[in-house]
Amino acid sequence: MSQSDRGLRRLAAGTLLVAFQGTTAPEWVLRELEHGLGGVTLFGFNVADPGQVLGLTAALRGAGEPVISLDEEGGDVTRLAYHVGSPYPGNAALGAVDDVELTRRVYRAIASELAACGINLDMAPSADVNSEADNPVIGTRSFGTDAGLVARHTVAAVQGLQSVRVAACVKHFPGHGATRVDSHLAVPVVDVSLEVLRERELAPFQAAIDAGAKSVMTAHVAVPAVTGDTPATLSAAALTGLLRGELGYDGVVVTDALDMHAITRSVGLAGGAVLSLAAGSDLLCLGPLPTYDDVQAIIAEIVSAVREGRLPLARLEEAAARVAALRAWFGAPEGVAAEQNVVGLHAARRAVRLTGSAKPLVEPLVIEVDTPPTIAVGDVPWGVGPWLPDAEIVRVKPAAADVPGLLARAANRSLVVVVKDAHRHQASQELVSALVAARPDATVIEMGLPVWRPDSAAYIATYGAARANAQAAVELLTA
């Protein structure tokens, strides 16, 4: 391979954020980092404990200068606490409190934990305005439904993260909040006018850009007024015209995971990589599915696209320069706050809401209504079990629940029903309604968005299903 060929391959590899299975770095990842690989994205399956993550990131750093990223949003979407649930409430809870200084403190605490583990880019916060209640992928990941509220908390989150030299990655541009389709599975459409887009979807991104956000993540959503039927991740009109031009952004553009069906089932993984780079992205998050063979094929396709004139060399060089500037910004954190163990619970306590009055618990039966996890969240544990060790806890699938049997078990005992995003699941609503009709003295705890509620004696809204949210709910229940 000639020197120019090696240089071109290095530029192509430098645009990739790869993933891998297991808690140690495979040899191929370390080898590719030596040859210019952009970095890695870590997932829950890469995490055992903070010490292991620090060892993993140290090994990665020993092979190059990688961007080391993961999704640590607090709330339902966590990677460091994937096996136990996050100690921080997520954005919906922080938006419900609406104290920007609290949001800044929570995100600074999150960044402190990430920095201590060797992570330098957090794929957060979500700046999506959750205008569609039935949104299957955003929900409690959004600060709320009002663009102004979302904008000010997005800025606070960016400031909190970046105060510890962990880069924020504001997502999902140009906005995923108005969708009813999960882009992991298909291409969602945000069919609104440019005027609505500017006033609602784009306002938080503009605020984050003005606040110095180091990176922005693209969404695999089509916005007909801007992109036609092309996902924004692949659209020059969205990334170069709107984000770079109109919003004046010159930081790093990171794609959402390219292994999602919105990309793989339309233009393919390697094809999507080339189209996204041509559209204006700088770092391609490949997601958890692509193998080393896939990574090699993507690099080869980028190299071919440059040689064939489908992708200008100058575009790759521009991406490399932006990522180099980001690496230069990464640095040793200064004055890391030692409050991460308390601020999460403090924030969850401020977010939780009780309607009605909860009676003292007597031999409680807790019925947790099983809710399928979204792909973004994954199979993170949730529920009140850790905080009610003496209660009998039953996890039931709503469509198969034995209501008479459950009510018989609850006779002469306190009944607590825990549900997550009941407004999105008809079977959950029917089960909760049947239980509450027979036991109007029951307490219902909603660990998603409190959009739908039954007529129970007491109703607790947590605005999220993180470990801290559950603890705050139980404290209200047992006060």
Q: Which of 122, 128, 182, 256 is catalytic?
A: 256
Give dist(CA 451, CA 429) in Å, integer: 11
Token pair, residue 196, equals 């609505």
Q: Which of 172, 176, 184, 220 is catalytic?
A: 184
**Exposure b/e, 293-325, CB count within 10 A at least 16 = b:** ebbebbbebbbebbeeeebeeebbeebbebbee
For residue 239, give the DSSP letter.
I
Asked whether 61 and 112 are in contact (CB, 8 A), the reply is no
Q: Which ranges of 312-450 would DSSP assign to H, the alpha helix? A: 313-329, 340-351, 403-409, 426-438
Q: Measure CA of the first residue to CA of the last residue in the chain; give whole Å.
A: 70
**Could you give the strand order of the β-sheet that contains 353-356, starting from the edge strand earlier in sequence?**
353-356, 458-461, 443-446, 415-419, 365-369, 392-396
For residue 164, give the DSSP letter.
T
Closest of 351, 448, 468, 374 to residue 109, by C-alpha:
468
**Could you give the strand order of the β-sheet that contains 215-218, starting from the edge strand earlier in sequence?**
252-254, 215-218, 167-173, 121-122, 67-70, 39-41, 16-18, 284-285
455 catalytic per annotation: no
Token pair, residue 252, equals 């790093």
- Could you give the angle at which helices 147-162 and 100-116 cross, rounded to 10 degrees? 40
184 catalytic per annotation: yes
- Which residues belong to the active site? 184, 256
